[in-house]
Amino acid sequence: MIRTSTSRAAARGAAVAVLAAALVHPPLRAQDAKAAVAKSIDAQQGHYTDVARQIWGFAELGFQERQSSALLQKQLRDAGFTVRAGVSEMPTAFVAEWGSGKPVIGILAEFDALPGLSQDTVPFRKVLTEGGSGHGCGHNLFGTASTAAAIAVKQWLEQSHTPGTIRLYGTPAEEGGDGKVYMVMDGLFRDVDAVLVWHPGDDNDASPSRDLAIISAYFRFHGVSAHAAAAPDRGRSALDAVEAMDMMVNMMREHVPQTTRMHYVIRHGGLAPNVVPDFAETEYYVRHPSADTVRDIFERVVDAAKGAALGTGTTMDYEIFGGSYAALPNHTLAKLTDANLRRVGGVAYTPSETAFARQLQTTFGEHPPALARAADIQPFDTTQMTYASSDVGDVSWVVPTTSLSTATWVPGTAAHTWQAVAVDGISIGGKGLIVAAKTIAMTAVDLFTSPKALQQARAEFQQRRGSGFEYRSLIGDRKPPLDYRKGSDR
């Protein structure tokens, strides 16, 4: 009897020790699963680098990414995913899914290029196609890494018989077309528990970050043509109206919050100096951290356009073609991602990659960052602010979302440049792709194996969003502007 009592006591002690260890260390199952998904991605590194290079070569603009979208869909179908193509009235958008039930973990994938950034994979300016497009924001890497992560997670879920659903969203036209906004409006994220996303960069960082909400629009003015010298009194210049609007908006800059950004281009200003232009068009972006403030400032821009038309004897119409919220941070998800990024590590260069990087840095100007930055993981910082915009913002207001960046670019590289295009097509970009894929896959494992983490992320999401929040898109109820990039790559 004494021995039995001692044995039971020992068993209880052992159970307490195991429980205590579990509270200090992640469950062994999750750690084993992370090792498995990382190994799976490493084994396919050459394949995924090739996929990214093919998309780099396609360099398709927003809503025209037919080959890029089809290639990613093929990877997912071949891996056993069910794919719905052409969702939300966007031919190149898709949703790929495997599994059933809860939790539902989403991963975002982008794949559109930018106009006018054609560039060869060399560390000096060398245009491949005059006026052609190029992946200056690394979306060829973005879409491929997200796909790789989704496939690795699916394989683990299947082999381990873990319940839940992994879903990849193929999101077109991030660069100004706001593809994700239409997917949000269509309710495609309604049942999702968390969303993971990444973006190419020149460092490795999983810190939660705010950015800017945006409304983008075309303003079109209609006047009366006339001979500019022989009969100018009979004309009413649409170009004068554009210039008057631009002048008034520029004067507004003194009287808007300091975090506001307003920028424009004149898309059409006339055809000949001796003909009074009867049509002119300007394109505006209005940005601010608050979606409500963006709405208010944009209405003031519209008033300036109305005044310009009145003062020049012309008429005006405008079209909102884009708009997205600022990102809503989620520290719970960001901390999980940060821990996994530190486990994966940064990007190490070979001697030839180092030589390429150093030559490329000579085109940046003075004092570029050290190349070692590509291998480092940035400190976790909850105060970051980025003065750019992304349609990921709308997703983050309807489901808990977090993002990270990895060093796909040589340290010091600016986005939307030929230097970024050059690196996005070589092994340096491919290494950052693999870091991102493994980090996302590992974070997904955490979410599938830790209901508590999802509960905490949801609680934080609801607290940050505030009670009574109702999502209203900044683009109204318009349809996707499928032709907004047509002609941009001439």
pLDDT in tens, 49-92: 999 999 999 999 999 999 999 999 999 999 999 999 999 999 99
Spatial distance between the Cα atoms of 175 and 60, rounded to a whole number of angstroms:
11
**Res 413 pLDDT > 90:** yes
Tokens 């979302």 belong to 401
Q: Please determine, for residue 4, whether its predicted confidence score (pLDDT) is greater than 90.
A: no
Confidence grade of residue 8 (pLDDT, cut at 50, 70, 90)? very low
pLDDT over 80 at 245, yes or no = yes
Q: Which of 111, 136, 110, 93 is nearest to 480 (CA)?
A: 93
Helix (H) or strand (E) holding 458: helix 451-465
Q: Tens of pLDDT along 152-203? A: 999 999 999 999 999 999 999 999 899 999 999 999 999 999 999 999 999 9
Per-residue pLDDT at 366: 81
301 burial (CB, 10 Å; 0-12 / 13-18 / 19+) is buried
Structure tokens at 6: 């001692």
Q: Which helix or strand (DSSP H or E) is residue 2 part of?
A: helix 2-24
What pLDDT band is residue 11 in, cutting at 50, 70 and 90?
A: very low
**Dist. CA 323–CA 129, nearest whole Å:** 31
422-478 pLDDT tens trace: 999 999 999 999 999 999 999 999 999 999 999 999 999 999 999 999 999 999 989
Tracing tokens 């059933």 back to the chain, one arrives at 100
Question: In this predicted structure, what is the pLDDT of residue 23?
Answer: 33
- In 3D, which of 146, 26, 152 has the Cα closest to residue 449? 26
Residue 256 DSSP SS3: coil
pLDDT given at position 6: 38
Cα–Cα distance, 227 to 231 (Å, whole number): 5
Q: What is the pLDDT of residues 316-362, one digit of tens each?
A: 999 998 999 999 999 999 999 999 999 999 999 999 999 999 999 99
Q: Which two tokens stand for residue 112?
A: 């559109």
Backbone angles phi and psi of 393, in degrees to 5? -55, -45
Strand pairing category for 261-268 and 279-288: antiparallel
Kindly give the residue spans of alpha helices, DSSP state H, lying in 217-350: 238-252, 291-312, 331-344
Q: Give dist(CA 24, CA 26) in Å, integer.
A: 7
Mean pLDDT of 413-428: 98
Phi/psi for 265 (5° steps) reads -135, 150
Q: Both tokens of residue 225?
A: 């043509």
Structure tokens that stand for 179 in this block: 């593809």
Q: Per-residue confidence at 487, pLDDT binned at 50, 70, 90?
A: low
Which pLDDT score is estimated for 176? Answer: 87
Structural domains in the chain? 27-199+329-462 (3.40.630.10), 213-324 (3.30.70.360)
- Under a CB-based contact definition with an 8 Å cutoff, are residues 157 and 370 in contact? no
Distance, CA of 131 to CA of 289 (rounded, Å): 33
Q: Yes or no: say if 252 and 300 are a contact pair by the CB < 8 Å rule.
A: yes
On whether the CB atoms of residues 211 and 396 are closer than 8 A, the answer is no
| Cβ(347)–Cβ(429) below 8 Å | no
Question: Could you tell me which of 93, 95, 96 has the C-alpha nearest to residue 68?
Answer: 93
pLDDT in tens, 360-369: 999 998 889 9
**Whole-angstrom distance, CA of residue 107 vs CA of residue 301:** 36
* Tokens coding 405: 């960046």
Model pLDDT, residue 29: 79
Task: Kindly give, in sequence order, each residue whose CB lies less than 8 Å from that of residue 140, ignoring residues fewer than 6 positions away.
Answer: 52, 53, 55, 56, 58, 68, 111, 113, 424, 425
Residue 315 CB coordination number (10 Å) = 15
Give the pLDDT confidence of 24-36 residue by residue, as tens digits: 344 457 888 999 9
* d(C-alpha 174, C-alpha 416), whole Å: 13
Q: What is the CA radius of gyration of the chain?
A: 25
Least confident segment among 6-20, 231-245, 262-276, 308-322: 6-20
Reported residue count of the chain is 490
For residue 348, what are the CA distances in angstroms to 368, 372, 421, 427? Answer: 18, 8, 20, 11
For residue 259, pLDDT over 70 is answered with yes
Q: What is the mean pLDDT of residues 291-299?
A: 97
What is the maximum span of the chain, computed from C-alpha positions, in angstroms?
118
Q: So what's the pLDDT on residue 119? A: 98
CA distances from 342 to 345, 380, 411 (A): 5, 11, 18
pLDDT tens profile 103-151 = 999 999 999 999 999 999 999 999 999 999 999 999 999 999 999 999 9
pLDDT(19) > 80 = no
Other CB atoms within a 10 A radius of the CB of residue 22 amount to: 11
C-alpha span between 409 and 428 (Å, rounded) = 7
